[in-house]
């Protein structure tokens, strides 16, 4: 049994042309579902549900090399509590920002 994650494309900059959008949707769809997959128009159509995508980082690194001027920001939410992340990709390189949870201090005036 594998681990399921909900993937999101939060940002692609600069903005995609219609042709780039379709090519990227085609790339992601084929990586997820194989060469015989049917291609739609919206990349997000393929990322609506939790899925197993074990080659995510390799696949998106490859995608970022195909579009070296684009900045891709992906986020994900795993099956376990607090398993959320963001990752930037550009020209074959990636960066995962540090996630910090900050609890506010006790304030007696907020008691209800």
pLDDT digits (tens, 9 = 90+) for 62-92: 999 999 999 999 999 999 988 999 999 999 9
Please tell me whether residue 24 adopts helix, strand or coil conformation.
helix
Cα torsion 38, 43, 47, 53 to 10°: value is: 70
Q: pLDDT tier at 1 (50, 70, 90 boundaries)?
A: low
Q: Is 23 helix (H, G, I), strand (E, B) or coil?
A: helix
Please, are residues 74 and 86 in contact by the beta-carbon 8 Å criterion? Answer: yes
Question: What DSSP string runs through 50-96?
Answer: -B--TTHHHHHHHHHHHSTT-EEEEEEEESSTT-EEEEEEETTEEE-
Could you list the residue range(s) of the whole structural domain that residue 86 is in? 5-110
pTM of the predicted model, to two decimals? Answer: 0.82
Q: Distance (Å, rounded) from C-alpha 34 to C-alpha 29?
A: 7
Q: In total, how many domains does the chain have?
A: 1
């Amino acid at each position: 049994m594998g681990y399921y994650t909900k993937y999101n494309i939060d940002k692609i900059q600069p903005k995609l042309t219609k042709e780039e959008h379709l090519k990227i949707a085609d790339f992601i769809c084929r990586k997820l579902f194989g060469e015989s997959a049917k291609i739609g128009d919206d990349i997000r159509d393929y990322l609506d549900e939790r899925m197993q995508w074990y080659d995510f980082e390799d696949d998106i690194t490859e995608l970022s090399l195909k579009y070296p001027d684009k900045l891709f920001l992906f986020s994900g939410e795993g099956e376990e509590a607090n398993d959320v992340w963001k990752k930037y990709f550009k020209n074959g390189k990636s960066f995962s920002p540090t996630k910090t949870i900050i609890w506010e201090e006790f304030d007696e005036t907020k008691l209800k």
